[in-house]
Structure 1
Amino acid sequence: MSEKPTLFTSLSPALLHLYDLTDAVVVIIDVFRATSTIASALYNGAQYVIPVDAVPAAIEIGKKVNGIAAGERDGKLAEGLSHGNSPLEYTPDFIGGKILVLTTTNGTKLLHMALANGAGDIVTGSFPNLSVVCNYLIHKKKNVVLACAGWKDRFNMEDTLFAGAVIHRVKEHFTIHCDSSFMAEGLYAQHKGHLLEFSKNFTHYHRLVNRFGYIDDIEFCLTEDIANVLPLYQDEKLIKG
């Protein structure tokens, strides 16, 4: 019997350098809201998404490709951009056939960090595309690193819960000797029946809902398989895999 590939969970971008990303599938996880928004945009017909780590780059590339430059900093619309990081903003009428150039506080930066650390196979994941991500990981039969974006290098609950949801589904196919993975799966198993209620305790929930009123965004971001596409990173863009 061939040996199973390994699976590890990096709970913060500050820990990513501790994991070997070469020849592994790296899943970029930024549940509130970058990776949920990427899934939403591709599901609703975007040609592709270009993730960039800085606002000026988003504006410049947006003009160059005649795309929609969008993003946020600290949860609110970034200065100089006319569209934000809400998955509900990217309806088929609005995004269909267009290119989205997206920059966010945590998720798009983490993707570029993964590239700099040698990742060759990158996908993005969130609850709206949970099943397709899990199927891809099982199908690839490669080592996996679940990379949580957290918040400015700090641990956060929603990304860890999504990592736990993935592990809950795929663990039979992997060798897992990783305490952060065991912790993530345990959290998810305990709270999977009431994620929205549980999320009311999260720091990022307070940031997005109490300050900006984004309760509908939160609900979308925690709903499994409502934008079930695979955002796959190829040639500096995320395409529908």
Structure 2
Amino acid sequence: MTEQAKPSLEVCLSPALLHLYDVKNYIVVIIDVLRATSTICTALHNGATKVIPVSSVAECVSIGKQLGAITAGERDGMIAEGLLNGNSPFEYSREFIQDKTLVLTTTNGTKLLHMAKDAIQIVTGSFPNISAVCDYLVAQKLPVILGCAAWKDRANLEDTLFAGAVVSRIKEHFSVNCDSAIMAESVFNTSKDDIFGFMTQASHFKRLANYGLEKDIRYCLSPDGANVLPIFRNGELVIAG
């Protein structure tokens, strides 16, 4: 395939930049490594029927009551007031989540997901499902935006790292004419031999480590622990297929 015939692959480093991209012509991958998209794929991998991402705690509680669902979420890394469950992937074991619906609200990831609503398709990605994400994107043969949820609109290291890891894996199938993609891949190549060690300098690492969540961080940076592909359909995230 000639370079002109290949679909484009771009990286958006922050929700604040998403307006610069014409999302309706793209598959958008929502990336919120610490921890929303890691938790979403883990819950679905462990048997959740669906995950409903919502913007506010009030909406989370309301929908949870209507559906008899598990309500969960965080604000600034801590369980949000009014919710019983947080954003740790370790909360969503098969014993707890199988055959249940999870309604989830987070600081960054759910906001970006709703911002990208006009995309051809929306899927979610993180290291625990990186192979499923890469295989799907290559198979679709459509233009892709890797959308980083960032931290309150500021670019962050972990989402950039994951975007770079995806670029590194699939770039031969795409046309990459995007400085953000090149930057992300360069960051990943710098760190790929010890991603956890590299991440110890990141602001969100320090934030979560202060809460004793290093186990969460290590899981969220490890490949293919929950290798399913969540796809957004009719306001719900379900396993693609």
CA distance in 1, matches of 2:226, 2:65: 27
Superposed displacement of residue 23, structure 1: 2.7
Runs (4+) of structure 1 moved beyond 4 Å? none
SS at structure 2 position matched to 1:225: coil
For the 8 Å contact 1:68–1:99, the answer to whether it is kept is yes
CA distance in 2, matches of 1:55, 1:110: 16
Give the aligned length: 238
CA distance in 1, matches of 2:120, 2:85: 30
Instruction: Please say if 1:203 is aligned against 2:208.
Output: no
The code of the aligned residue for 2:186 comes to: G
Instruction: Please say if 1:35 is aligned against 2:40.
Output: no
The residue number in structure 1 matching 2:168 is 168
CA distance in 2, matches of 1:100, 1:193: 34
For the 8 Å contact 1:128–1:222, the answer to whether it is kept is yes
Instruction: Please say if 1:237 is aligned against 2:236.
Output: yes
SS at structure 2 position matched to 1:166: helix
Q: Give deviations 1:162-204, integer Å, cap 9, x for gaps.
A: 0000000000010011111001001111211101111110000
Superposed displacement of residue 22, structure 1: 1.1
The residue number in structure 2 matching 1:102 is 104
The code of the aligned residue for 2:231 comes to: L
The code of the aligned residue for 2:31 comes to: I
The residue number in structure 1 matching 2:84 is 82
The residue number in structure 2 matching 1:46 is 48
Q: How does 1:67-216 map to 2 (within 5 A)?
A: 67-115=69-117, 118-210=118-210, 212-216=211-215
The residue number in structure 2 matching 1:22 is 24
Superposed displacement of residue 12, structure 1: 0.3
The code of the aligned residue for 2:156 comes to: N
Structure 2 gaps, min length 5: none
The residue number in structure 2 matching 1:10 is 12
**Structural RMSD (CA):** 0.8
> Sequence identity of aligned pairs in percent?
57
SS at structure 1 position matched to 2:83: coil
For the 8 Å contact 1:48–1:100, the answer to whether it is kept is yes
For the 8 Å contact 1:23–1:121, the answer to whether it is kept is no
Instruction: Please say if 1:221 is aligned against 2:220.
Output: yes
Superposed displacement of residue 217, structure 1: 0.4
CA distance in 1, matches of 2:103, 2:69: 7
CA distance in 1, matches of 2:21, 2:206: 31
SS at structure 2 position matched to 1:22: helix
For the 8 Å contact 1:33–1:221, the answer to whether it is kept is yes
CA distance in 2, matches of 1:23, 1:11: 18
The code of the aligned residue for 1:230 comes to: L
CA distance in 1, matches of 2:236, 2:22: 23
SS at structure 2 position matched to 1:45: coil
For the 8 Å contact 1:58–1:70, the answer to whether it is kept is yes
SS at structure 1 position matched to 2:73: strand
CA distance in 2, matches of 1:140, 1:191: 29
CA distance in 2, matches of 1:17, 1:206: 30
For the 8 Å contact 1:71–1:103, the answer to whether it is kept is yes
SS at structure 2 position matched to 1:100: strand
Structure 1 gaps, min length 5: none
Superposed displacement of residue 120, structure 1: 2.9
